[in-house]
Amino acid sequence: MIDTHCHLLPALDDGPPGRAETLALASALQRAGVTAVLCTPHYSRRYPTLAEFAAERLAQTRAELADAGIPLELRLAAELAPATFLAAAEEEVRARCNGRFVLVELEPETPAGFVEQAVIRARELGLDLVLAHPERCSAVRRDPRVLDEARAAGALAQSVASSLDGRWGREVEASAWAFVGAGRIDLVASDAHRVGRRGLALVGALAQIAGRFGDETLRLLTETVPRRVFEGGAAWMPRSLG
């Protein structure tokens, strides 16, 4: 698996507080079958993470994983909050992209109108938009056509393991699986912050995807489309609904 949404870097946001927790998370990701991680620290009013600081942490983490014998390939992007994506200067947005791709989260109370605004801003900047965990957004759950229109305009929809594993509640879990089953999701990521008492949500989510939809769908959601995002190249055409 290629994980395109993960808070692996230590002491930047609400992810691992230090080196030990980062190593524990990296080890758990490797055991779950992850071979590459796009590190996506938050970039928001609450976490105004400096791009230069994140790059330093990336270099340090690469060296520490090599010393620990954990063979994960790491690259750097960010998870932009909705308001930050619309308000930040172009150079600040570009500094937090991986190639052409920009990851923007949909929060529980993000209004439906934001999705169209995000598509327009991404197009103006010449970027390919990835919408993180749409299943957590109440407006999208009420009217999934909002997501359909964004994908038709070239955006990608990314569900996350903690939603599929039920850690955000039954309503979010049901919506996540419904979106996957309807072909509304283009890729799945961990959105892992640390290894908790229940272990890594990714393990159960991957097993359920394979069991419900088969290995081909699992590869599409966790390898084929994520590879395009990880490598920062041309956008993947969204799958048809149905």
- For the chain, 242 residues long, the average pLDDT of each consecutive 10-residue run is 98 97 98 98 97 98 98 98 98 97 98 98 97 98 98 98 96 98 98 92 96 97 97 60 44
- Assign residue 232 a region (left: φ > 0; alpha: ψ between -120 and 50; beta: otherwise): left
pTM: 0.95
pLDDT digits (tens, 9 = 90+) for 60-69: 999 999 999 9
Which has the closest alpha carbon to 206: 180, 238, 232?
180
The answer to whether the beta carbons of residues 36 and 190 sit under 8 Å apart is no
Q: Which domains does the chain have, with CATH numbers?
A: 2-231 (3.20.20.140)
pLDDT digits (tens, 9 = 90+) for 146-187: 999 999 999 999 999 999 999 999 999 999 999 999 999 999
Instruction: Say which residues have a Cβ less than 8 Å from residue 56's Cβ, sequence separation at least 6.
Output: none
The answer to whether the beta carbons of residues 111 and 146 sit under 8 Å apart is no
Q: What is the pLDDT of residue 236?
A: 46
